Amino acid sequence: MLHRRSLLTTAAVGVATLAAPAILRAQTVKTLSFYYPIAVGGPIAAIIDGYCRAFAAESGITVIPVYAGNYVETATKAVTAIKAGAGLGGGGPHMAVLGSTEIHALHDMDILVAPEEIGLDAEGKTWLETFYPAFLANAREAGKIWSVPFQRSTAVDYYNKAQFAAAGLDPDHFPTTWDGLVNAATKLTNRNANATSRWGFKLASDVGNAQWTFGALAWQNDHRLMNEAGTEVYFNAPAAIQALEFWRSLAFDHKVTPQGITTWGTLPSDFLEGNTSIIQSTTGNLTNLRDKAGFAFGVGGLPGRDGVRTVVGGGNLYFFKNANDAERQASLKFARFLSTPERAADWCMRTGYIATRPDAWETPALAEYVAKFPAANVARSYLPQATGEISTFENQRVQATLTAEIQACLSGSKTAAQAMADAQTASDKILKGFRRG
Amino acid sequence: MSTRGLEILGAWMLGLLWVLPLIYAVWTAFHPSAYATHFDLTAPLTLDNFARAWEAAPFPRFLVNTVMLVTLILVAQLVLCTPAAYAFARMEFPGRDIIFAVLLLQLMVAPDVLLVANYRSMAQLGVVDSILGIALPYLGSAFGIFLLRQTFRQVPQELDDAARLEGSSLLGRLWRVYVPLAKPTYLAYGLVSVSFHWNNFLWPLVITNSVSTRPLTVGLSVFASTEQGIDWSIVTAATLMTSAPLLVAFLLFQRQFVASFMRAGIK
Amino acid sequence: MKRQTFHAWLMIAPSLVLLVAFTHWPAIVTMIDSLYATPRGSRPPVFVGLENFQDIFADPVFIKALVNNAWYAGVTIPASIVIALLMALAVNTAIPGRALVRMAYFTPTMLPMIAVANIWLFFFTPDYGLFDQIAGIFGFGRHNWLGETATALPAMMIVAVWKEAGFFMIFYLAALQSMPPDLAEAGQLEGASRLLYFRKVTWPLLMPTTLFVGVNAVINAFRLVDHVVVMTRGGPNNATNLLLYHIYEVGFRYWDTSQAAALTMVLLAILGGFAALQFGILGRRTHYR
C-alpha cells in the first residue's frame, strides 16, 4: 500500500514535471523571504505588510518581509545572510529591495539572477520596459536588466514660500539655474555681525549622502561621474571639478550655506525651524514635511547650470540566485504584482515615492490626487532630466572615497581640483581589477 | 566663597552637565515637536510622542527580547563562572596558571572586536538571528572568572575545611560557603553585565534580522536612520520608555549597589 | 590528586569551551583569513602572505582611523578616569543633595548610547542646537561641531567621557567608602595638606580600582563606536573614523573579509599590548592578588 502510493506520487510528479515544469513547481512554494530597507514598524512597513497579505490572498504564497533598516544596512544584512547561508529557507532572502546603485557590486558577487533568466514571456518583457528609463538607469549590467524599480525617488528642493515672498522673490517660481539659485539664496540668507540667523540653501554632505548630492551637481554641469559598466569613474574631469567648486563657493564665497558638513538627518528640522529657506532632499520626504510644516512650502526641481537637472534615488527589487527555480518564479510574480499601475499609484499616494511607470499616473486615483496636490507631480515632471546615481563595482568603497574627498574640500582643507584628483587616484586603484572584463 | 563652597558648586555643576541629556529627553518627550528645539516654560504638555513612538516600533517585543537576552547572559555567566573561579582559586591541577592566563586574554578582547569571524561561526551553528546567537559569545566571561576568583581567594580556608569535615561535597561547599560570601561580587558583576548588554549595539545589529530577536538598542537605532530625518520628539520618547526600567532600578537600589561594590573584590 | 584534577577540569570546561570557541578560535581564524585574499564569487581564496597588511598600512583611511583612535584613547581614558575620581570624591563627602548628584552622575550608564547619541546630535547641531543656543546667549557665533574636521573628534570624545565617567565613579566610590574611617576623616583636611594626603595615602590605596577602571576604559576606547554609527559615520573626511568602525565598514559594507581580518589583527595586537602593560607593570605595583 505504502509502496504503491509512493510509486504513484513519483510517477505523478514525474509526469507533471515533464508536462508543465515551471508552473507546477511554482505552486509548491509556500513562503518567500523579502528584505526591505525601512525601519521596523512605522507607516511604510504597514503598507508593505498590506501588499504581502494581498499577494498571499491572490497567490497562496506568503511573503515574509524582513525590515532591515536603511539601504546600506539592508544590503549588508542581505549579502551577509546569503554569504553565510543563513536565514529563512537556509539561504538568506529570496528577493530584496536594495539601493539601485548596488547593482555592480551585487553582480560581482555572483548572487543575483536577472528576470529574463528566471523566464519572461512576451508580456513580461514588455512589462520590464514600461518603467521610466531614469529608474532603469542603474539596473543594467552585462546587457541585462537585473532589478525592478520600486521604492524610487528623486532629489527635489523644498522651499519656504513665506520666506521667498518676504525676501522679494516670487514664491510660485523656483529658480531653474545655478545663477538664479545663488541669487535667491543670497536674498534669503540673513546675516548679522557674527552669525547667520537664516541660511538660504542647504544640501547634505555627510557620509552616505554627499556622493548623491554631488552626482546631482555634476549632472547639473552636464557630467556623469561613471560609465554604465561601473568600471570607470570620471571625478577629475573639469566638469566635475567645476561642480564641486560651485558647491564650495556656496559656503565660502556666497556664504549662503554653512561651511563644513551639513547632515541629512537635520535638514528637515532646519527647514521646519525656519533656519533654512531651501533644502535639497528626497521626494520621499514630501508627506513628512506636509504633515509638519506650519507654513506654505513649494517643491522645485534642482536648478542646473543651464536648467533643471536632478538625480534619482531609492531602491529596486533584486532576485537572488540562492532561491530555487520555483522560488525565483514566485519572486518574479510578486515583483509584477507590486508594479501593476494601480498598486504603483497607491504606493505613490501613500508614501510620496514616485510611481515607477507612466501608466500609473493615468489611473483615476493618482490623476485625481495630483490635481489636488500638485507638489506630488513636480518630481515626476523632471524625470526626463534625471540621471542615475553613482554606481560602480566596489560601490560602497568608491562612494566612501568620494565622500571623504568632497568633505575635505567643503571643510576647506583641499581645493576642488586636488580633492577630485585624489578621489580619482584612489578610486582607480579600487577599480583596477574590474577593468579587464 | 570658601573652597568648600566652590567644591560643592562644582559638584553640582558637573551633575547638571551630566544629567542634561536626560533633562532634554524629558522636556522634548513631553512637549509637542515644535518645542523640541525651543525651551518655553509655557509650552503645552503632551503624551502624544509616547503614543507615536509606541506605534512606530514594537517596543514591548524589543523590551522582552532585551530582558531575555540580559537574563540569559547573566544567569549563564554566573552559573559558568562560579565553578571555574573556584577551580582557579582553590584547586591544584597541572596547567592551571597557563590556562588562567590564556582565559584572561578575553578580558581585553571583547567578542565585538571579532565580529566578522564570530558571525561566520554563528552561521555555521545555525543561530544567526536568534537571542542565543546574540548571547553565545558572551556566555563565557573571563572578567567574571577573574572577579570571583579574587573574591573566593579571600574566603578563609578554615571555613572550607570545616565544611569538608562535616561531609560537604565540593559543590555543597561552593554553594553553602563561597557563594553566600561572594554576594556583593555577584551583585557588582551583575550590574556591570546587565548595563553592558542592555546597551550593547554593534554585535546585536550584525547578528539579528527580525523583530522577534532584536533588542531595544537595535530597535532604537532605526529612528536614527530614516530618510525623513531625525524627529527628536519621538526619539526621546522612545529613549525614555526603553531606559525607564534601568533608571527606576537604579533609583531604587543605588544604596545597595554602592554598598555591594564596597564589599566586592572591585575596589 | 588525580580526582581533583578531573573535578577541576570539569568545573572550568564549560567556560573554557565557550571562551575558546568565541574568542581564541575566531582570533586564530581571523589570523589565517588575514593571510588570504578575499574570495570573489565562487573562486577559492588565494594565499597572499602579508599583502593585506601592506595594503592596510598603505591605506590613508586606516592610518587616519589609527591616529584618531590613538587620540581618542589618549584623551578619553585619562579624562574619564580623572572625572570619575573627582565625582567619587565629591559624593563621598557630605554635600547637600548627595543622592541626587550621585544619580545625575550615573544616568549615562542607564541610557543606551545608540539613543542618547541622537540627543547629543541635537546638542551639537549648528545654529539652533543646545550648545549654539547657549553660546548665542553669551554672544558667541555658531559652530558646526560635528561638521568641521577640527572639532568632530573632540565632540565624540566629550560624548564618550560623559558616557563612561559616571560608571567608573561607582567603582571609585565603593573603594573610597571601604577605606578605614580614620582615613576618611582626614578627607576633612583643607588646602595643601589635603592634596598631599590624597597623593600619599588615598591615591595609592585606590591603585587596584584604577587598574580595574583602566582596563575597562581601554576596552571601551576601542570597542564603543555606537555614537560614531549614529552621529557621523566616520565623517567628515574620516575625522571621526575609529578602528572598530573601520573594521565594521570593511567587513560588512565592503565585504572585504580578508582586509577586515588584517585590521582586526592590528586591533588585537594593540589590545594585547595594553593588556601586557597593565598586568605586567601596573599589576606588580598594585599587588593584585
Tens of pLDDT, residues A37-65: 875 556 788 899 999 999 999 999 999 99
For residue A35, being part of any structural domain is answered with yes
For residue B170, being part of any structural domain is answered with yes
Q: Please state, in angstroms and rounded to a whole number, the distance separating the CA atoms of residues C288 and B146.
A: 11
Res. A90: pLDDT tops 80: no
For residue B209, being part of any structural domain is answered with yes
Cβ-based neighbour number of residue C100 at 10 Å: 14
Partners of A199 in beta bridges: A276
For residue B53, being part of any structural domain is answered with no
Q: Match 524627529 to its residue by C-alpha cell.
A: B231
> Which of B116, B125, B228, B235 to mutate against chain A (most A CBs within 10 Å)?
B228
For residue A301, being part of any structural domain is answered with yes
Q: Match 537572488 to its residue by C-alpha cell.
A: A320
For residue B38, being part of any structural domain is answered with no
Q: In a 3-state reduction of DSSP, which class is residue A86?
A: coil
C236 cis-preceded (ω within 30 degrees of 0): yes
Q: List residues of chain B with CB under 8 Å from any CB of chain A.
A: 33-34, 36-37, 55-58, 119-120, 122-123, 126, 128-129, 205-206, 209-211, 214, 219, 221-230, 232
Q: Cβ separation of C235 and A403 shorter than 8 Å?
A: yes
Res. A9: pLDDT tops 60: no
- The overall average pLDDT reported for chain B is 86
Q: Which domain holds residue B213?
A: 59-263
Q: Cβ separation of B221 and C229 shorter than 8 Å?
A: yes
For residue B142, being part of any structural domain is answered with yes
Total count of domains within chain B: 1
Q: Cβ separation of A265 and B229 shorter than 8 Å?
A: yes
A111 closest CA partner among A89, A86, A99, A93: A93
pLDDT for the residue A4: 43
Query: Measured between CB atoms, does C26 come within 8 Å of chain B?
Result: yes
For residue A183, being part of any structural domain is answered with yes
- Neighbors of chain C with 3 or more C-beta pairs under 8 Å: A, B
Residue of B nearest to A37 (CA): B226
Provide the residue count of chain C: 289
pLDDT for the residue A337: 95
The H or E element containing residue A118 is helix A115-118
Q: Which residues contact A50 (CB under 8 A, 6 or more apart)?
A: none
Task: Identify the residue with better confidence: A404 or A87.
Answer: A404
Q: For the domain that residue B70 is a member of, what is the CATH number? A: 1.10.3720.10
Q: Please state, in angstroms and rounded to a whole number, the distance separating the CA atoms of residues A205 and B108.
A: 37
Q: For the domain that residue A286 is a member of, what is the CATH number? A: 3.40.190.10
The H or E element containing residue A279 is strand A276-282
B103–chain C nearest CA distance, Å: 7
Total count of domains within chain A: 2
Q: Which domain holds residue A373?
A: 10-152+314-380
For residue B42, being part of any structural domain is answered with no
A331 closest CA partner among A61, A53, A82: A61
Q: Please state, in angstroms and rounded to a whole number, the distance separating the CA atoms of residues C50 and C36.
A: 9
Tens-place pLDDT, residues A109-127: 889 999 999 988 888 889 9
Q: Does ipTM surpass 0.90 in this model?
A: no
Please compute, for residue B200, the number of CA atoms within 13 A of its CA located in the half-sphere on the CB side.
Answer: 28
> What homologous superfamily is domain C52-285 in, according to CATH?
MetI-like (1.10.3720.10)
Residue percentage of chain A with pLDDT more than 70: 90
Residue A173 and residue A123 share a domain: no
Mean pLDDT of B92-118: 84
Reading the block at residue A301, the C-alpha cell is 526641481
pLDDT for the residue A11: 45
Least confident range of A147-161, C170-184, C241-255? C170-184
> Which of C83, C118, C207 to mutate against chain B (most B CBs within 10 Å)?
C118
Res. A426: pLDDT tops 80: yes
